Amino acid sequence: MSHFDLTSIPQRWLRDLTWDYLADLLRSPHCPRSGGPFDGYRRAALELGVFLELEAPDGGHDPAVLRGEHAQRFVADQRHREREGLESLAVKRPGGAAGIVTTATRSVVFNAIRKLLRDALDTGVADKLGLDREFITGFPTAGAATGRTARRPFPDEVAQALAAEANLAELAATYDLNDNGARDIWETTVTTGRRIGEVIKVRWDCIGRYGGLAMFWHDQTKVGNYDAAIRITERLYEILAKRQRKTFDRFTARYGYRPTGTQRAALALFPTTYRSHDGTVSLTHQWFYSRFRPWVDAMDLGHYVPHHARHTLATSLLRHGATLTHIRRYLGQVSDRMAEHYVHLTSSDLENVLQHVWVAGPGAAQPRPPESVAGRLDEDSAGRLLLEIPLFDAPAAC
């Protein structure tokens, strides 16, 4: 739905190479679900192209003169910029300022360039261009997860701030002036633990009652689970029902007629007003993040993203007795690695033992109950209370 510009890549051979690779990727049965990988390939080609224009003979326009040393110098330059937090040679932020080379962006560049050039080598394009093999093999793999860490749950004080009524009202009043649904999207994300894209893209008829139970229907596109239904609270049901009415009334006011049953099924619950002529196109991730980030920054909470809410809910469910099987089923295929991360945060049996050991001290021969409990209760009563404490102290999803 937009213009995808490759003209900023200086060398014609590299620009054509990138174009052909992206065109093949679009035609492939393994075409990515989003534009992220395409932006990564464009970024990588742009970074390499600008570097070669500055450092290579003839500005890098003749691929036949490029050697392994040029690839090694590019790799060293990227690592230096990552280490020192320096600006990128080529990539600009939306406001026009130069982007900063980070571990994540450097990883994207290395992996994308390696794929582009290895594909050229495999298809014979490199031979036609005269690209030296040492130049192609000089780019290392960086690994998709380089520099990434598992998301943590929200700390209690952050969870409370992001769920406070006054702060939620501020999100709607200050950062969503047209009431397109930023607060509703966030409250749905927090309550259900869905991925933010799964909430933004829901259809108008995403809620319903079945046997008296309030249900929420959505697509878990990341794991290929479509039209999935989960139980939701009555409060969330009322929030989404109110949003349904707003979307319906706005459609009627804009187009001059009430949508039919078939049309309602295709409507977006959170439609964009810029790229949709019939109300079927949803808001974008960028739209939501452009409201969410300044809202969080204004509260000076630190760096948090909506996906933290998913991990917060999973941790809270585990602390209250849900099994990993239940979590996987409810959240949609949580990975084994992330499930293990949740378990580390919810080992209530170990917490009970630790409370005894901490109170006794490192030199004690025997652990004992915390003094505040042991001073007032007998040993059996203290033990029962300690077993019950984690069930009531577990933080909510927010």
In tens, the pLDDT along 323-333 reads 777 777 788 76
**Same domain, yes or no: 114 and 175:** no
pLDDT at residue 214 above 70? yes
Tell me: pLDDT of 222 over 80: no
- Residues 237 and 128 occupy one common structural domain: no
**Whether residues 116 and 80 fall in one domain:** yes
Give the 3-state DSSP-derived string for the chain, with helices as H, strands as E and coil as C: CCCCCCCCCCCHHHHHHHHHHHHHHHHCCCCCCCCHHHHHHHHHHHHHHHHHHHHCHHHHCCHHHCCHHHHHHHHHHHHHHHHHCCEEEEEECCCCCEEECCHHHHHHHHHHHHHHHHHHHHHCHHHHHCCCHHHHHCCCCCCCCCCCCCCCCCCHHHHHHHHCHHHHHHHHHHHCCCCCCHHHHHHHHHHHCCCHHHHHCCECCCEEEECCEEEEEEEEHHHCEEEEEEECCHHHHHHHHHHHHHHHHHHHHHHCCCCCHHHHHHCECCECCCCCCCCCCECCHHHHHHHHHHHHHHCCCCCCCCHHHHHHHHHHHHHCCCCHHHHHHHHCCCCHHHHHHHHHHCCHHHHHHHHHHHHHCCCCCCCCCCHHHHCCCCHHHHHHHHHHHHHHHCCCCC
pLDDT(3) > 70: yes
Cα distances (angstroms) measured from residue 1 to each of 4, 8, 280, 281, 321: 9, 20, 14, 11, 46
Q: What angle do CA 333, 336, 337 make, to 5 degrees?
A: 120
pLDDT band at 175; cut points 50, 70, 90: very high
Q: Are residues 123 and 169 in the same domain?
A: no
116 and 19 belong to one structural domain = yes
Contact 233, 188 (CB under 8 A): no
Q: How many other C-beta atoms are found inside a 10 Å radius of the C-beta of residue 206?
A: 22
| 143 found inside a domain | no
Question: Does residue 340 fall inside a structural domain?
Answer: no
Q: Which residues on adjacent β-strands are paired with residue 203?
A: 268
Q: Which two tokens stand for residue 181?
A: 């649904």
Q: Tell me the pLDDT band of 270, cut-offs 50, 70 and 90.
A: very high
Average pLDDT over residues 351-360: 62
Stretch among 152-166, 196-210, 211-225, 363-377 having the lowest mean pLDDT:
363-377
User: Do 286 and 388 lie in a common domain?
Assistant: no
Q: How many structural domains is the chain composed of?
A: 3
Lowest-confidence region among 137-151, 202-216, 237-251, 311-325: 137-151
In a domain, 339, yes or no: no
pTM of the model: 0.63
Helix axes 103-123, 36-55, angle to 10 degrees: 90
Highest-pLDDT range among 194-198, 240-244, 319-323: 240-244
**Do residues 26 and 66 share a domain?**
yes
Taking residues 338-346, what's their average pLDDT? 65
Query: Does residue 154 fall inside a structural domain?
Result: no
**At residue 373, does pLDDT exceed 80?**
no
Q: What is the pLDDT of residue 324?
A: 78
Biggest CA pair distance of the chain:
85
335, part of any domain: no
In a domain, 156, yes or no: no
- Residue 72: name the closest of 146, 143, 135 by CA: 135
Q: Are residues 176 and 229 in the same domain?
A: yes
Please give the Cα distance from 108 to 4 (Å, whole number).
18
Q: Does residue 190 register a pLDDT over 50?
A: yes
Which of 33, 34, 41 lies closest to 14, judged by CA? 41
Q: 261 with 351, same domain? A: no
Q: Tell me which residue range forms the domain holding 125.
A: 12-137
Position 343 confidence tier, pLDDT thresholds 50, 70, 90: low
One domain, residues 127 and 241: no
Last residue of a domain, which of 307, 339, 357? Answer: 307
Distance from C-alpha of 15 to C-alpha of 54, rounded to nearest angstrom: 17
Other CB atoms within a 10 A radius of the CB of residue 235 amount to 10
Q: 319 in a domain, yes or no?
A: no
Return d(Cα 166, Cα 176) in angstroms, integer: 15
| Residue 298 belongs to some domain of the structure | yes
End residue of a domain, out of 276, 307, 338: 307
86 and 127 in a common domain? yes
Q: Are residues 171 and 108 located together in one domain of the fold?
A: no
